[in-house]
Amino acid sequence: MINTRVRIKELFQKDFVGKSVTVMGWVRTFRNNQFIALNDGSTNTNLQVVLELNKYDDLLLKRITTSAAIKVEGLVVESLGKGQKIEIKTNSIEIFGDSDAEKYPLQPKKHSLEFLRENAHLRFRTSTFGSVFRIRHSLAFAIHQFFYEKGFVHIHTPIITASDAEGAGEMFKVTALPFDKTPRCEDGSVNFKEDFFGRATNLTVSGQLEGELAATALGEIYTFGPTFRAENSNTARHLAEFWMIEPEMAFCDLEDNMNLAEEFIKYIIKHAIDFNREDLDFLATRLADEEKALPQDKRSEMGLIEKLEFVLNNSFERITYSEAIEILKESNYNKKKKFNYPITGFGMDLQSEHERYLVEKHFKKPVILRDYPKEIKAFYMRQNDDGKTVAAMDILAPGIGEIVGGSQREERLENLETRMKEMNIPEKELWWYLDTRKFGTVPHAGFGLGFERMVQFVTGMTNIRDVIAFPRTPKNAEF
């Protein structure tokens, strides 16, 4: 039976010395016709497999190449080699799948991340991406565990929707209509009544609005699913398809919202430190080596592990948007015109460079900004008494800027209707959303955390395309 195998990670965790075991995996390297470095994806640490000289014929040995898949049966013994506690002395070897050494793209050497993106179907087999995706898995588990412990209900919100939660209009259209014979109305517009859903539909940009419906009955809910933006941003920070975690809480205000978001971030970071330390240590070393090639002022002031522990052990700085504008306005960066986007004052939308300055240069820790101008925020955010701002909050993290965006939601029907008219959002399209304000409205709040940006923060990867298995970006839908 194949399932009698022992995972390599388990071999290192328990005492198997003196026992015969079966292991399976992919060959990382094979040297001197005697030593195989074997990896099965359960850990970044390769297992050394030792072949007895002259025991195996040359035809078999020639098939033991990089990325060949093999089965090994043998005795676990203490290793005399450096950097390894145990190794396996083989009794038998079976090759499941050959790998042509001359054609296999990932040779046993260092490859650029760009090259690995072009070979994303194979990059899981590298040490870097093995670590990244084990950590991604662990963070996903921690997210569900956090909300389960808090008593939240997990809701699956629709991927196909007729609403634009953000009002941004950057959505992917969903249709079953033929492109060559699209039915038209008399005015020339597409006749969506002939389409599958009988109306225009899109891929969701957020599960928030539907999440609010559930929260106003179940109390506290969260969603964790894919979201889509047809934004033509070809940068290291943007994806067209990404995952979002969006809790919504009834009987909750902005302060409660900020408290939960900070607790949530710290919880999942601690989970990664507790359960993925080997992978984090590997990525920390990798990041430190990568930064040696950068100018001193571009290097991180803290190592990866140090940064994560600093976030865990310090309260996030909390300031208003207005206070942030003043800090940025009076900064040397602004006075010396180092910002690509100069600080013009209240009402401007902060860019990533401004967010990172506040976090990395000024406060040197995560920052929660609150009370943004209503003109630059969505219609559903609760209007503050000053008439100029809304009860919104963003959490800014070192290295990537905004990682969480949220707000107290506008629970007052009249205020919500007025704001929707101001922003030209048709009430008839969101009649179901307005009903929650008509029948037992309550103060409520929520936020969204971009999962890939969180994985970036924890792993230290600088490009968001390297923390999702198959990135979807402008002009790129490979694999």
Spatial distance between the Cα atoms of 200 and 183, rounded to a whole number of angstroms: 13
- Assigned architecture for domain 2-107: Beta Barrel (2.40)
Residue 369 near residue 396, CB atoms below 8 Å: yes
What secondary structure does DSSP assign to 162-228, as a single string? S--TTS-----EE--S-STT--B-TTSSB-GGGSTTSS-EEE-S-SHHHHHHHHHHHSEEEEEEEEE
What is the three-class DSSP state of 50? strand
Return the pLDDT at 331: 94
CATH 3.30.930.10 domain locations along the chain = 125-170+205-466
CA nearest to 247, candidates 226, 269, 224 = 224
Q: What is the mean pLDDT of residues 308-323?
A: 95
Return the pLDDT at 2: 65
Q: What token pair was written down for 138? A: 């662990």
For residue range 377-391, what is the model confidence (pLDDT) as tens digits?
999 999 999 999 999
Q: What are phi and psi of 382, to 5 degrees?
A: -70, 130
For residue range 256-298, what is the model confidence (pLDDT) as tens digits?
999 999 999 999 999 999 999 999 999 999 999 988 888 877 7
CATH 2.40.50.140 domain locations along the chain = 2-107
Give the global pTM.
0.94
For residue 234, name the pLDDT band (cuts at 50, 70, 90). Answer: confident
Q: How many CB atoms lie within 10 A of CB 322?
A: 18
- The residues, ordered by sequence, that sit 6+ positions from 472 with a Cβ below 8 Å of its Cβ are 239, 240, 241
Lowest mean pLDDT among 51-55, 126-130, 216-220, 417-421: 51-55
For residue range 89-131, what is the model confidence (pLDDT) as tens digits?
999 999 999 999 899 999 888 899 999 999 999 999 999 999 9
**E strands present in 65-150:** 69-78, 86-97
Q: What is the CA radius of gyration of the chain?
A: 27
DSSP tally for the chain: helices H, then strands E = 14, 16
CA nearest to 64, candidates 98, 24, 89 = 98
Residue 206 near residue 244, CB atoms below 8 Å: yes
For residue range 336-373, what is the model confidence (pLDDT) as tens digits?
999 999 999 999 999 989 999 999 899 999 999 999 99
- The residues, ordered by sequence, that sit 6+ positions from 323 with a Cβ below 8 Å of its Cβ are none
Spatial distance between the Cα atoms of 384 and 13, rounded to a whole number of angstroms: 55
Spatial distance between the Cα atoms of 439 and 27, rounded to a whole number of angstroms: 63
Written as one letter, the residue type at 224 is F
**Positive or negative torsion for Cα 119, 120, 121, 126:** positive
What secondary structure does DSSP assign to 435-456, as a single string? HHHHSS---EEEEEEEHHHHHH
Q: Which residues pair with 372 in a beta bridge?
A: 390
CATH H-level, domain 125-170+205-466: superfamily:
Bira Bifunctional Protein; Domain 2 (3.30.930.10)
Residues in the chain: 479
- For residue 1, pLDDT over 80 is answered with no
Return the pLDDT at 475: 92
